[in-house]
Structure 1
Amino acid sequence: MNLSSPPLLRIDALRFAYPDQPALVSNWSASIGPGVTLLYGDTGTGKSALLQVIAGTLPAIGRLTVAGVSLDTAPEAYRRQVFFVDPVTDRFDQLTARECTASLVEGDAGFSDAKWQAIADGFALAPHLDKKMFMLSTGSKRKVWMAAGLASGRPLILLDEPTAGLDAPSTRCLWATLTGFADQSKQAVIVASAARIDTVPLAATIELPPG
């Protein structure tokens, strides 16, 4: 974390558990600043659930605040500070990739068309932009979502296992794009992954205990 920059995400006394299950986190507090933070843990440790909690799409006990906006007091405003797409969602299936992108960046005043175009080119998305999302492979769907997220101007960007289904050139584009977040002060990216990341400068690593 850049200690000269204020945290973009504050987590205060967070507790989350599925019904009749042990808590994934209990009384967890953290401050996450700009740059890339790795949320690391094996499969089954709850990384995806925690991203959904932080995104404000899965209820939990505690307080979450992004860029000064708290989920408990201003839920819609909070969610507008966060970019997150659940990789298993089917809600975009009937949209083209281009329409999906437009939907995801609606209201995002800081969205960069130029950055999106560069990432879309790096992901080789051009042949897929006018196809319906249900026609795309798992990897291509992730590319569409990630291109929108990585070009977003939102303070917090959440990526769940971003390399799943990606080819080698797209993975290199992803790492290069994430590296670009290292030297700025306005955005935090949390990458949930079951693999260590040594190709991107990390601001912090949060390691979850074994499931």
Structure 2
Amino acid sequence: MNPSSPALLRIDALRFAYPDQPALVSGWNASIGPGVTLLYGDTGTGKSALLNVIAGALPASAGRLTVAGTSLDAAPEAYRRQVFFVAPETDRFDQLSARECTASLAEGDAGFDQAKWQAIADGFSLAPHLDKKMFMLSTGSKRKVWMAAGLASGRPLVLLDEPTAGLDMPSTRCLWATLSEIAAQSKQAVVVASAARIDTVPLAATIELPLR
């Protein structure tokens, strides 16, 4: 991270463990600034769990998380409004159309960029699917709906879990191009959890799991 860039996500002495399991992280400190950060590790190293913890969806055993100056401990709802995250396995949007799902995800997001969303949706070839119920969509198309909403959001922190899973090549190219644009700005941090290295996007940092 550029020392002159403000930390959008601060992780202080974080510990997380599933019950009766060894800790995935313990005493983890990190300062994540604007741009794209890769959370890299093999399957089973805890990438998805840590995204859920950072999103405030799973409770940490210890430590503090702060996004854009808002602490999860002190103001949990305000914290969560600073973070965009959709767990890929969720079924809570199944009965909504893709368009309704997008509206739900963007609700209360004053920084949502409609033009940017439209450009990403076009790049993801989502137009034929926007009025279909989410349960009717393929795994890849569901991810496209969620990612288009997240990447167009004005939220300081966006968390993406294995974003290329189920994506066709044109959509993958659109994703890399959008992330490359984000990498060049100073207002938003995107953390991408992936079991593959990323060499098509300028990365601000790489965090490798398990932490050593």
Interval containing the TM-score (normalised by the shorter chain): over 0.9
Q: Deviations over 1:81-120 (max 9, x none)?
A: 0000000000000000000000000011111000000000
Q: How many residues align?
A: 210
**Corresponding residue of 2:14:** 14
Amino acid in the other structure paired with 2:13: A
In structure 1, distance between residues paired with 2:2 and 2:134 = 38
Residue 2 of structure 1, CA deviation: 2.6
Residue 182 of structure 1, CA deviation: 1.4
**Corresponding residue of 1:32:** 32
In structure 1, distance between residues paired with 2:88 and 2:110 = 24
Matches within 5 A, 1:56-205: 56-60=56-60, 61-205=62-206
TM-score computed with the length of structure 1 as normaliser: 0.99
User: Is the 2:35–2:183 Cα contact (8 Å) retained in structure 1?
Assistant: yes
User: Is the 2:24–2:210 Cα contact (8 Å) retained in structure 1?
Assistant: no
Residue 185 of structure 1, CA deviation: 1.1
- Aligned-partner SS, 1:19: coil
- Aligned-partner SS, 1:116: helix
The percent identity for this pair of structures is: 89
Residue 3 of structure 1, CA deviation: 2.1
Structure 1 runs (4+) greater than 3 angstroms displaced: none
In structure 1, distance between residues paired with 2:210 and 2:66 = 24
Residue 183 of structure 1, CA deviation: 1.6
Amino acid in the other structure paired with 1:18: Y
In structure 1, distance between residues paired with 2:32 and 2:41 = 18
Residue 54 of structure 1, CA deviation: 0.2
Residue 19 of structure 1, CA deviation: 0.4
**Corresponding residue of 1:51:** 51
Q: Deviations over 1:137-190 (max 9, x none)?
A: 000000000000000000000000000000000000000000001121110000
Q: Deviations over 1:13-53 (max 9, x none)?
A: 00000000000000001000000000000000000000000
How well do the aligned residues superpose, as a CA RMSD in angstroms? Answer: 0.7
**Corresponding residue of 1:2:** 2
- Aligned-partner SS, 2:207: strand
In structure 2, distance between residues paired with 1:209 and 1:31 = 17
In structure 2, distance between residues paired with 1:18 and 1:209 = 15
TM-score computed with the length of structure 2 as normaliser: 0.98
